[in-house]
Chains A and B, each alone.
Chain A
């Protein structure tokens, strides 16, 4: 079953912050985050495992609340290069990722 992402789209000016949420109706063992630019393949950003950890990748970080079956991706001080579609992928201990519908992020100068 696919996780639910919100919002569907967000428009930012350079330097602004944004949060993308991902929730699942199933217990989660890990959450992945990927970014896809138009016409390209999804590119891995980070994995969060059970344990409620928080990770960071430059000024992009994420948290994972396994009790709530939710993860959030934080874009801080956004840059033009952050534009793209962000997908969360969830693993419910079945060794495969189900992806959300994606959140399209547009960063403008």
Chain B
């Protein structure tokens, strides 16, 4: 299995620009999570999808952030406009079943975002 695939691995952009992060979950997994990791705040859950439907987006920091999952094999996280405080590593993770109760999360390699 190829695992969770994220792109790009690194993204450097200027403040005010739009950024789109991409994720391909493991085939057959029906739960998808976007996490953000920083030294200050650790791993924060941004949004959770189940069967392509957003279930909980309470972690999305502001309206500048949006996420979509148009089908079972693709999700995007968009930041528009980006700000320096958005600099972080963004992880996508997928699991089988409903959420995380009894199923491991499989993480992608992450996208390191730097906003200057």
Contact = CB atoms under 8 A, between A and B. Distances in A.
Interface in A53-109: 87, 89, 91, 93-102
Interface residues of A, number: 25
B48 A95 contact: yes
Contacts of B43: 42, 87, 99, 102
Contacts of A49: 101-102
Interface in B52-106: 55-56, 91, 98-106
A46 to B, nearest CB: 8
B77 to A, nearest CB: 16
A43 B45 contact: no
Interface in B20-42: 31, 33, 35, 42
Given A95-B48, A102-B42, A44 B109 contact: no
Contacts of A98: 45
Interface of A: 2, 29-30, 32, 34, 40-44, 47, 49, 87, 89, 91, 93-102
Interface of B: 31, 33, 35, 42-43, 45, 48, 50, 55-56, 91, 98-110
